[in-house]
Chains A and B, each alone.
Chain A
Amino acid sequence: MAAAVDAAAAWIAAFGRELATGLTDPAERLSLHYWPGAIALAVAALAGRTRLRDALRRGLRLCLHPSSRCDAKIALANGALAFAAGGLGLVGSLDVAVWTVRILDAAFGIPAAPDWPAVLVALVYSVVLFVAWDASRFLLHLAMHRVPALWAFHAVHHSAEVLTPLTLHRIHPVERMLYALRDAVVTGLCAGVFFHAFRQGISPVTIAGIHAAAFAMNAAGANLRHSHVFVGFGPFEGIFLSPAAHQLHHARRYGARAVNLGTWLCLWDRLAGTHVRPHGRTPPAFGLRRADAGHDPHGLLSAYFAPILRAVAALVPARLRRRVAAVVGVVVALVPPGVRAAPAGEEDARSYGGPSAVPAAPRSAAQGTPQHQETPERNARHGGPRRGPPHRTGSAAAAPPPLRPPAAPRERHAPPAAKDHDSTREDDGDEDDEDGGRRRIVVGSMFEGDPRGRIAGSAHVVDERQLERNEYDDVHRILSDVPGVYVRGEEGFGLRPNIGLRGANPDRSAKVALMEDGILLAPAPYAAPAAYYFPMPTRMVAVEVAKGPSSIRFGPNTVGGAVNLRTRPIPGFPVAVVDLAGGRFGYGKVHAYAGTSVKGFGVLAEVVRLQSDGFKHLDGGGETGFGRSEAMLKLGYQARGRRGTEHRVEVKGAYTQSREHETYLGLAPEDFERDPYRRYAASARDLFTLWRSLAELSYAMSTDGGLSFAARLYRHDFHRRWNKFDGFRDGPDVHRILAAPDAGQNQVFMAILRGEEDTAGPEQALLLGDNDRTFFAQGIDLSAAWKSRFRIVAQELSFGARLHHDGVDRDETTRAYWMTSGVLVPEGTPDQPKDRNRGRALAGAFFVYDVLTLWDRWTLAPGLRVEIIDTTFTDLLAGDKTDRLDTVVLPGIGTHVYATRWLGIFAGVHRGFSPVAPGQPKSVRPEDSVNYELGLRVTHDVVQAEIAGFASDYRNLNAACTLSAGCEGGQVGNQFSAGRALVAGVESTVRAGHTFRRGLRLFASASYTFTHARFLSSFVSGFPQWGTVEAGDELPYVPAHLVSLQAGTGGRIWEVSATGRYQSVMRDVAGKGPIPDAERIDGFFLLDLAAELRALERLRFYGLLQNATANRYVASLRPMGARPGAPLTFIVGVKIRALP
């Protein structure tokens, strides 16, 4: 240990010296040698124009700008990388020189050295070197700007929004490597040629050991090239590139096609036609538009990793990318077979409600732990067969035996069945599972820390086995098996899901606390809660849903509840899995992950690529598919301290990139009837692109004394750009056109949408929005829990605090097009600004939650949450700024009592809340409700069942206007209040299973939700889904009945299952009585079939038939017109375990 510390200290000291060298070595432009010249020039340029104090103040501002901070981060990281790698040069100039001499000598023989004076030779060599350096820099720089794959890296340098001398080092490591290579090659070539010709080593003319001309150029204010001091070279401006000329190079207006690409001489730019003589003042803006940059200009991780994906995308044709998947599959499939695989478990989505008889958390006994049986990495986390942890809460006796199958043969890394059975029965549900004598610390699960799920309130987990069984990529389908969850499909892939819980408006899942590993995942959960990003479900190992009082631990939205997605944990031993699938409509999936743990250190890397050609077809042809890539890297270290304290540190990074030819434009009913998978010509140019980066650092500890603590830092950046048809310049609302396409002038606009009629005038121009939005979210999340027991009272007291800051920058414009002969043709008028605004939210959240259990039978769980939310909204077009501060206290309490060993009764009440988005006037109140639930839970050997009534009594029901909700541009961001409303209903779920002696298994489950959702006040609202509302009207998009049925059977190596879902009719607009056709979303039934064959231990084939009855149904009438659910789709895939 001491040696390691010494080595680290030595490394840090050496790195420090290396950094200091940057200021003293004349070979570095930032060296102190060059500052006098730069300062003198700056003083000369600024003297008389600005006061020293102002200049210094401005300089300080520039240095503290987020872009400058990022410069420093990149410079530091590059330095560390280079230092650690011993320099990034692949080859040295000496190597090149030697090879050059050898080649020339071999080709031309050894010449007689000319008798030139040494000074002349040195001078000529200096000039040649100077010119060669400058020319090669220019050429490489030009390539950096012109070759898309190279520009991906060079954009990091150009994304700097302010320029400081340190911006010189704001370059991607790949670019740094390329420049180092260039230097080695050019210098080596020149040296080699001169050595060949003059037969002696030649040095150029130097000053302080540096090429004299280079020294002179650096001394002539080179450090001002990256600055805001606009200094020209006057009469020499046409010969040498001045600082001002280089500042033009960085001017935002030039973007990737920059000017003044040279370093010292103007000659190359003049030859290439890229020279622009500087004049006037410092360019008004530096940097790139975020979409052009392709990464977050303020984020180190984003700047490092986004260019790599972008470059790969630029280099590898899409078709080739698809084929790689097939090749990889063939190669890996050749791995020699092992022993026969274990059968699948039969448990599925299960419910944990209230002070449950069922142990909490996805690893609990009630799940039958199928994922433990079948996923080695999961076993690895448990250290193989469980060792029957000690009873901490002493409550196992009170828990009825969980439902689980009899023993089945296991694969070699799976725990023996009997042992597993025993161990899971004994699992007391707290977090101290033993893993090779080491307690497992889990951070990021909603239920993992709950003592046996005694929390009153519904809680459901869709575990890894169930996720794997259906291999769903659409979270709507995953969640539709959970009672009380309402989903509204949109594009058929679930790319931007709409999830509501217990009647909360599902639009963009804005009313649900969406989390990934316990961290809010929406791009800006407070400032802009609409979840335009959703992680790919295929890389999740569990989806957790909390409703009722327990949801007050997961704000800010507490009305409906919370949904948490759990990513794959770092495995305990080497694991490598590849999952390849293909299917109808060009569906393709490549999913791979690999990881291991050694001596407490663990690593996991996971990548997913999902793509489809889309199931819709455009009038006139065009793309309707998507391609999304996600990568995640986790690094962890766990150590045991003194007195049994476990510590765990984990770093998680992820990056997502997506390109989706998606639109908001649906179909008119008649067209839907004829062909639901049609897309109108007006949507031909619609394209959604996004990138997201994530960085999280977590620390967790737990002691044998029942104390645990976790701290997590997180930063998420997200950028989306959606070019899509918004509407007509001066026509009716598109939603109305599609609802009544034959009515009056709607006919004309309808014909234009279809491409059948040409635009006849400016008022009929189609407006395509360029909705460019950049989001960030960052914060720190702290939680602590203490478990204790005193005689008959067991207690777990938990606290949490979160300081969160997020924001959104909207820069939205519209461009007008005319429909001409079925094609969208730009009108040629300038783009019009639509929205330019900035929302920011700073939120502090605190909760305390206590679970008291008396006599191991009665549990009482009171809790309290406080949210303090400070928001600001700046309308950059209007120049308005709005601030507001909301403070809310959210109490809740739940209880559970065992009436018999197998029957529990639970009840709870809590206050529901949903925050107000920035920019709303103070008169707009937050969503506020009192939520009740009362239920019974049966836990029996054969059957588990739960039935719960729920009611949300809204004192104020809110809706936020988004384009996806059907709002028009001017309304977006507005919040609408409906006043009082009531959502009440019944949720129920039942499951049963049995395994016969020979291993044949049967399993079945069902869930049903009835919902009665009514407004209790009358009002007229601009929110298009409400309109004119009378008290007693039904809420839109809340179906009265939701049914899900699943049944299946399986043997040792096979399994088949069928899942049927029914959703009853919904309203598109509030109302009561018979639903008008134009506002009616008919009920529909979906049948999905799944089959799998575990042919070999390492090989699992699966086949899916989704929407097996080829049901054509309307998933939604929003945002504009009827949107179809996905048609019959088949997918076949293979999952290969390359390791272990």
Chain B
Amino acid sequence: MKIIFKFIQVVVLGATSACSISGPGDDGQEATRKAIVRSAADRVLAPAYAEASTALSGLADAARSYADAVAGGEADPQAKRDAARVAFGTAMDAWQRVEMLLVGPAGPAGLVTGGESLRDEIYSFPVTNRCRIDEELAEGSFEEPNFFTANLVNVRGLDAVEYLLFVEGTDNACDATRPINKDGTWQALGADEIVRRRAEYAARAAEDAAARAAALASRWSPGTGDAYAAFVSAGEAGSPYPTTRVALDEFSSGLFDLDTHVKDRKLAAHAPEELESPLSARSKENVLANLAAAWEIFYAAPSAGEGTGYDDWLANVGQASLVADVDAAFAAAEAAVRAVPGSFETALADDPNALLGAQSAVGDLAALLKGPFLAALDLMPPADGAGDAD
């Protein structure tokens, strides 16, 4: 009889489990988490996306001005090209902040809540293909109205703009076996047409990226943006983020990206061509922007005194000393990056190991974040590769 009773008990428990089982017990930090979520949305995410949109819009204007100058036959369009290049730098600085804040629609589809991989539509590094850009350029397809919606991300976005604005000379990036070289299509264009097309292509790519960035920013707009609304409602009924923990796990994933994306990719280069932005020679600035954004994630605000961040959460759980350690590690990492002489591109040209110091410092920071920081707040690293037996 006891067996039968137990069986019935188990079945009843199972039948009601879907509605009766509660989530993990509250650890008394829910209010803090809510505050961090709000601060992150208001002080970090929404401003970062808005600033990126503004900067990309500036880039689009500058690139259009340069393209028009070339098309209009201005005698010396170089000044406008230089202006476009400066605008590209501004846009990249802003975008590199966003690179660490891939929460919501900008985040990878299937990996983060509401992820639509919109980041790749604007900047697809490292998935780039300069040869394909040149092929599209030779074919003139970039001037078709639906080019930027119908084509793959490796022929558009900021990485394409960088190539088109900064490449020198009139050679293409394809090898001799590709049709544009084999059948003479490229050569037939002539130097002037190549310059014109590059300018026009850059302008259109920049305009497309700016439009997409604007759309993204509007989704993070406080009050009206759906991504913003979803994020700040984390843990509430109907929110795509079932708990505030999930929202904060995704927000903090940028901290762990320091390890995989910055240390192991951007700082692992041993030659200039392995860097992120070799043509514009802005790889160093990119990393500095990444570090700055990660620092903002930690404080959930642009400065330490503002809002509520992980630092406050750490203090609440008796780990205030860790805040200082993290702060120091950030400072050390930034200093090590700045200590690389000149740009990364010139430094690597002189010494293939020029980035080792910076890589080591960022590694120390990442280790601190993945270790004590993660353990203290019981945060979850991104889903990739986290196994019980790791």
Distance in angstroms between the alpha carbons of A631 and B383 in the assembled complex: 46
In the complex, chain B residues whose CB is within 8 Å of the CB of A757:
129, 132, 152
Q: Are B390 and A932 in contact (CB under 8 A)?
A: no
Q: Are B23 and A1021 in contact (CB under 8 A)?
A: no
The answer to the question of A949 belonging to the interface, with a C-beta cut-off of 8 Å to chain B, is yes
The answer to the question of B329 belonging to the interface, with a C-beta cut-off of 8 Å to chain A, is no
Q: Are A736 and B389 in contact (CB under 8 A)?
A: no
Stretch at the interface among A1-9, A45-53, A152-160, A976-984: A976-984
Distance in angstroms between the alpha carbons of A733 and B111 in the assembled complex: 10
The answer to the question of B263 belonging to the interface, with a C-beta cut-off of 8 Å to chain A, is no
The answer to the question of B140 belonging to the interface, with a C-beta cut-off of 8 Å to chain A, is no
Distance in angstroms between the alpha carbons of A923 and B388 in the assembled complex: 9
The answer to the question of B21 belonging to the interface, with a C-beta cut-off of 8 Å to chain A, is yes
CB distance from B164 to the nearest CB of A (A): 16
The answer to the question of A375 belonging to the interface, with a C-beta cut-off of 8 Å to chain B, is no
In the complex, chain B residues whose CB is within 8 Å of the CB of A951:
7, 10-11, 14
**Contacts A743-B116, A974-B388; is A760 near B131 (CB within 8 Å)?**
yes
- Point out the residue from B111, B121, B387 that lies within 8 Å of A736, measured CB to CB: B111
CB distance from A748 to the nearest CB of B (A): 5
Can you show 11 pairs from A to B with CB atoms below 8 A apart? A745-B117, A745-B127, A748-B152, A932-B7, A934-B3, A951-B14, A974-B389, A976-B389, A1012-B15, A1022-B390, A1030-B242
Closest 9 CB pairs of A and B: A744-B120, A744-B117, A743-B117, A743-B109, A740-B109, A760-B129, A1022-B387, A932-B7, A1031-B21
In the complex, chain B residues whose CB is within 8 Å of the CB of A971:
385, 387
Distance in angstroms between the alpha carbons of A267 and B130 in the assembled complex: 58
Distance in angstroms between the alpha carbons of A1078 and B111 in the assembled complex: 12
- A972-1014 interface bits toward B, Cβ cutoff 8 Å, 1 = contact, 0 = none: 0111110000111000000000000000000000000000101
The answer to the question of A1114 belonging to the interface, with a C-beta cut-off of 8 Å to chain B, is no
In the complex, chain A residues whose CB is within 8 Å of the CB of B384:
733, 968, 1022
Distance in angstroms between the alpha carbons of A1078 and B116 in the assembled complex: 13
**Contacts A730-B126, A1016-B21, A1032-B17; is A924 near B389 (CB within 8 Å)?**
yes
Q: Are A744 and B118 in contact (CB under 8 A)?
A: yes
The answer to the question of B187 belonging to the interface, with a C-beta cut-off of 8 Å to chain A, is no
- Point out the residue from A736, A751, A764, A909 that lies within 8 Å of B3, measured CB to CB: A909
**Contacts A736-B111, A1031-B17, A1031-B21; is A953 near B10 (CB within 8 Å)?**
yes
CB distance from B186 to the nearest CB of A (A): 17
Distance in angstroms between the alpha carbons of A891 and B304 in the assembled complex: 60
In the complex, chain B residues whose CB is within 8 Å of the CB of A1020:
249, 380, 383, 386
Q: Are B389 and A984 in contact (CB under 8 A)?
A: no
Distance in angstroms between the alpha carbons of A1115 and B246 in the assembled complex: 31
Distance in angstroms between the alpha carbons of A1072 and B242 in the assembled complex: 12
Number of A residues, CB within 8 Å of B: 61
**Contacts A743-B120, A923-B388; is A949 near B11 (CB within 8 Å)?**
yes
Distance in angstroms between the alpha carbons of A365 and B4 in the assembled complex: 31
Q: Are A736 and B108 in contact (CB under 8 A)?
A: yes
New A-B contacts (18) at CB < 8 Å, excluding given A743-B115, A749-B127: A730-B265, A732-B108, A739-B110, A743-B108, A743-B120, A744-B118, A748-B124, A748-B153, A751-B152, A761-B126, A908-B3, A909-B3, A919-B389, A924-B388, A933-B7, A1020-B380, A1021-B388, A1022-B384
Q: Residue of A at shortest CB range from B20?
A: A1032
The answer to the question of B119 belonging to the interface, with a C-beta cut-off of 8 Å to chain A, is yes
Q: Are A1030 and B387 in contact (CB under 8 A)?
A: no
In the complex, chain A residues whose CB is within 8 Å of the CB of B375:
none
In the complex, chain B residues whose CB is within 8 Å of the CB of A973:
389
In the complex, chain B residues whose CB is within 8 Å of the CB of A976:
387-389
Q: Are A740 and B110 in contact (CB under 8 A)?
A: yes
CB distance from B177 to the nearest CB of A (A): 9
The answer to the question of A788 belonging to the interface, with a C-beta cut-off of 8 Å to chain B, is no
The answer to the question of A306 belonging to the interface, with a C-beta cut-off of 8 Å to chain B, is no
**Contacts A744-B119, A932-B7; is A1031 near B22 (CB within 8 Å)?**
yes
CB distance from B12 to the nearest CB of A (A): 9
**Contacts A745-B127, A748-B152, A970-B385; is A1032 near B21 (CB within 8 Å)?**
yes
For residues 689 through 748 of chain A, which have their beta carbon under 8 Å from a beta carbon of chain B? 730-733, 736, 739-740, 743-748
The answer to the question of B324 belonging to the interface, with a C-beta cut-off of 8 Å to chain A, is no
The answer to the question of B128 belonging to the interface, with a C-beta cut-off of 8 Å to chain A, is yes
Q: Are B388 and A736 in contact (CB under 8 A)?
A: no
The answer to the question of B19 belonging to the interface, with a C-beta cut-off of 8 Å to chain A, is yes
The answer to the question of B79 belonging to the interface, with a C-beta cut-off of 8 Å to chain A, is no
Distance in angstroms between the alpha carbons of A974 and B385 in the assembled complex: 10
Distance in angstroms between the alpha carbons of A1014 and B10 in the assembled complex: 12
In the complex, chain B residues whose CB is within 8 Å of the CB of A761:
126, 128-129
Q: Are B108 and A1022 in contact (CB under 8 A)?
A: no
Q: Residue of A at shortest CB range from B265?
A: A730
Distance in angstroms between the alpha carbons of A134 and B277 in the assembled complex: 68
For residues 925 through 941 of chain A, which have their beta carbon under 8 Å from a beta carbon of chain B? 932-934
- Point out the residue from A909, A1012, A1030 that lies within 8 Å of B23, measured CB to CB: A1030
In the complex, chain B residues whose CB is within 8 Å of the CB of A1078:
110
The answer to the question of B371 belonging to the interface, with a C-beta cut-off of 8 Å to chain A, is no
Distance in angstroms between the alpha carbons of A949 and B14 in the assembled complex: 12
Q: Are A748 and B388 in contact (CB under 8 A)?
A: no
The answer to the question of B24 belonging to the interface, with a C-beta cut-off of 8 Å to chain A, is yes
CB distance from A100 to the nearest CB of B (A): 62
Q: Are B3 and A746 in contact (CB under 8 A)?
A: no
In the complex, chain B residues whose CB is within 8 Å of the CB of A748:
124, 127, 129, 152-154
Q: Most chain-B CB neighbours within 10 Å: which of A745, A1022, A1072?
A: A745
Q: Are A1014 and B126 in contact (CB under 8 A)?
A: no
The answer to the question of B335 belonging to the interface, with a C-beta cut-off of 8 Å to chain A, is no
In the complex, chain A residues whose CB is within 8 Å of the CB of B6:
909, 932
